[in-house]
């Protein structure tokens, strides 16, 4: 029996996909990002559910993720959006992948392999991560055209601050740069079939960025990219309900009576203010329960909140269960999600630990089993 596990609601995943399909319409390729273990939700489990229920593509960051999907029997088109070492580019053909390209060396290596492959050029429009500078695009395009095995199937970019503010001025600047690059490619004799800029925030806040392909990110798992994105949706009159798909659980490993004045955990960082009981839970920062939640976070036991007390250890945490009746050994404990009428959200955990909901879910250890529920 596992000490900690994650449950994923298939119903929630399907619901969220339908919400975004309704938003973009039937003629836009819907490409959920399943990189980073599907944002911590389980790479293969979520990919299967999404592929079966409306995903036109799946987006991964690295070859090992694509390989796991193909080994699992998933035949949906896969777009690899991260860097592939030049020595590994032959795997793209074997796994039937499309890939984003932004380095001339990658073009040369793919061209010399001779295998037919679809590539998506990524344009630098202001985020200054991956991307081809617009002024370098003519030379890049001419280099690509030298290799008849390469088909430029897509043109992409990524917004820098659409999640962080309601003012879309910078995003619209990026969109203009992107359109300028697309027009430039046409004059150079290339016309990519797909254009894609929008992740979750772009899908919600900037409909003109949908084009004919969107890369659905955290919204597919029922989480908003930011409070501002949710506000943007409300201002636009979008009646969207996102359903968080992930519940993270553990169990009670020990119940211990304590007295007022007792000190709990490393550094004696918590002093009991009352007589009562604490529970020890077999979960820690090794598993992804971040250390910053010590003396700040909470867990759910029998439908009640139990404050996390003391420092988070490598493999254990302690919680004050004094106010929770009838706690038993190996009772189910919810770390993230709902139990009874109570809920602990990824946003709450992120705020308490000084980070964002993305990191809360993605840092849940990959070794922890993901169980897909109906």
List pLDDT tens digits, range 110-134.
Answer: 999 999 999 999 999 999 999 999 9
Mean pLDDT of 342-351: 98
Flag whether pLDDT at 236 surpasses 90.
Answer: no
- Specify whether 149 is located in the same domain as 278: no
- Specify whether 307 is located in the same domain as 217: no
Helix, strand, coil share (%) of the chain residues, nearest 5: 35, 25, 40
How many beta carbons lie within 10 A of that of residue 160, not counting itself? 16
In a domain, 293, yes or no: yes
At 167 the pLDDT is 87
At 300 the pLDDT is 98
Mean pLDDT of 275-279: 98
At 164 the pLDDT is 87
Mean pLDDT of 166-184: 95
- Specify whether 330 is located in the same domain as 281: yes
Flag whether pLDDT at 166 surpasses 90.
Answer: no
At 255 the pLDDT is 98
Domain containing 277 equals: 246-373
Structure tokens at 184: 């430039």
Distances (CA, A) of 50 to 14, 29, 82, 157, 320: 7, 13, 21, 23, 39
Q: Exposure pattern of 4-20 as b/e (b: 16+ CB <10 Å)?
A: bbbbbbbebbbbbbebb
Flag whether pLDDT at 77 surpasses 90.
Answer: yes
- Range in 145-149, 223-227, 234-238 with the lowest mean pLDDT: 234-238
- Specify whether 212 is located in the same domain as 357: no
Q: Please report which confidence band the pLDDT of residue 140 belongs to, taking 50, 70 and 90 as the band edges.
A: very high
In a domain, 97, yes or no: yes
Torsion angle defined by CA atoms of residues 268, 272, 273 and 276, in that order, rounded to the nearest 10 degrees: 180
In a domain, 160, yes or no: yes
- Specify whether 74 is located in the same domain as 119: yes
CATH number of the domain where residue 295 is located = 2.40.37.10
- Show Cβ contacts of residue 340 under 8 Å, excluding neighbours closer than 6 positions: 300, 302, 303, 304
Q: Could you give the angle at the alpha carbon of 357 between the alpha carbons of 300 and 210, nearest 5°?
A: 135
Torsion angle defined by CA atoms of residues 223, 340, 344 and 238, in that order, rounded to the nearest 10 degrees: 30
At 38 the pLDDT is 98
Distances (CA, A) of 338 to 11, 252, 348: 15, 17, 13
In a domain, 240, yes or no: no
- Specify whether 87 is located in the same domain as 188: yes
| pLDDT digit string, tens, across residues 251-267 | 999 999 999 999 999 99
DSSP letter assigned to residue 322: T
In a domain, 3, yes or no: no
Identify any residues that bridge with 309 across adjacent strands, giving them in sequence order: 318
- Specify whether 68 is located in the same domain as 215: yes
Instruction: Kindly report the backbone phi and psi dihedral angles of residue 337, in degrees, each rounded to the nearest multiple of 5, phi listed first.
Output: 130, -160
- Specify whether 223 is located in the same domain as 264: no
Which domain-ending residue is among 212, 235, 258? Answer: 235
- Contact predicate 174/126, CB 8 Å: yes
Q: Which of 226, 258, 359, 352 is nearest to 299 (CA)?
A: 352
- Specify whether 193 is located in the same domain as 304: no
In a domain, 107, yes or no: yes
At 143 the pLDDT is 97
Distance CA(346)–CA(338), nearest Å, equals: 11
327 three-class SS: coil
Distance CA(364)–CA(372), nearest Å, equals: 16
- Specify whether 68 is located in the same domain as 21: yes
Which domain-ending residue is among 235, 262, 286? Answer: 235
Question: Percent of the chain, pLDDT > 70?
Answer: 100
Q: How far is CA 325 from the centre of its chain?
A: 37
- Specify whether 136 is located in the same domain as 276: no
Counting the structural domains of the chain, the total is 2
| pLDDT digit string, tens, across residues 189-232 | 999 999 999 999 999 999 999 999 999 999 999 999 999 999 98
Flag whether pLDDT at 352 surpasses 90.
Answer: yes
Average pLDDT over all residues of the chain: 97
Which domain-ending residue is among 235, 265, 287? Answer: 235
In a domain, 94, yes or no: yes
Q: Report the DSSP pairing between strands 4-9 and 370-373.
A: parallel
pTM: 0.96
What are the strands of the beta sheet with 194-196, ordered from one edge? 58-60, 78-80, 97-101, 117-122, 150-156, 194-196
In a domain, 4, yes or no: no
- Specify whether 258 is located in the same domain as 227: no
Q: Please report which confidence band the pLDDT of residue 165 belongs to, taking 50, 70 and 90 as the band edges.
A: confident
Positions annotated as catalytic residues are 35, 266
């Amino acid at each position: 029996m596992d000490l900690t596990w994650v449950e994923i609601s298939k119903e929630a995943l399907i619901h969220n996909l339908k919400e975004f399909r309704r938003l973009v319409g039937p003629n836009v390729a819907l490409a959920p990002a399943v990189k980073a273990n599907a944002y911590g939700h389980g790479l293969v489990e979520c990919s299967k559910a999404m592929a079966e229920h409306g995903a036109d593509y799946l987006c991964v960051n690295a070859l090992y993720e694509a390989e796991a999907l193909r080994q699992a029997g998933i035949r949906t088109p896969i777009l690899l959006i991260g860097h592939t070492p030049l020595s590994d580019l032959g795997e793209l053909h074997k796994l039937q992948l499309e890939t984003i390209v932004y380095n001339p060396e990658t073009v040369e290596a793919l061209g010399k392999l001779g295998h037919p492959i679809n590539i998506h050029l990524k344009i630098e429009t202001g985020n200054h991560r991956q991307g081809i500078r617009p002024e370098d695009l003519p030379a890049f395009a001419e280099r690509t055209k030298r290799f008849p095995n390469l088909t430029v199937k897509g043109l992409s970019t990524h917004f820098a601050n659409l999640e962080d503010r309601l003012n879309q001025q910078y995003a619209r600047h990026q969109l203009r740069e992107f359109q300028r690059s697309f027009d430039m490619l046409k004059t150079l004799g290339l016309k990519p079939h797909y254009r894609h800029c929008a992740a979750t925030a772009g899908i919600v806040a900037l409909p003109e960025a949908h084009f004919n392909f969107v890369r659905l990110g955290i919204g597919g798992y029922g989480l908003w990219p930011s409070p501002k994105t949710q506000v943007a949706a409300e201002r636009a009159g979008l009646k969207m309900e996102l359903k968080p798909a992930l519940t993270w659980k553990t169990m009670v490993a020990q119940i211990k009576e304590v007295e007022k004045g007792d000190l709990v955990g490393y550094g004696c960082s918590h002093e009991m203010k009352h007589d009562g009981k604490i529970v020890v839970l077999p979960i820690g920062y090794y598993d992804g329960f971040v250390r910053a939640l010590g003396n700040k976070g909470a867990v759910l036991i029998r439908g009640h909140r139990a404050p996390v007390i003391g420092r988070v250890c490598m493999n254990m945490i302690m919680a004050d269960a004094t106010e929770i009746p009838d706690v038993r050994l190996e009772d189910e404990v919810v770390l993230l999600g709902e139990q009874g009428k109570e809920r602990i959200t990824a946003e709450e955990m992120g705020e308490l630990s000084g980070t964002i909901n993305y990191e809360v879910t993605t840092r849940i250890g990959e070794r922890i089993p993901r169980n897909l529920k109906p």
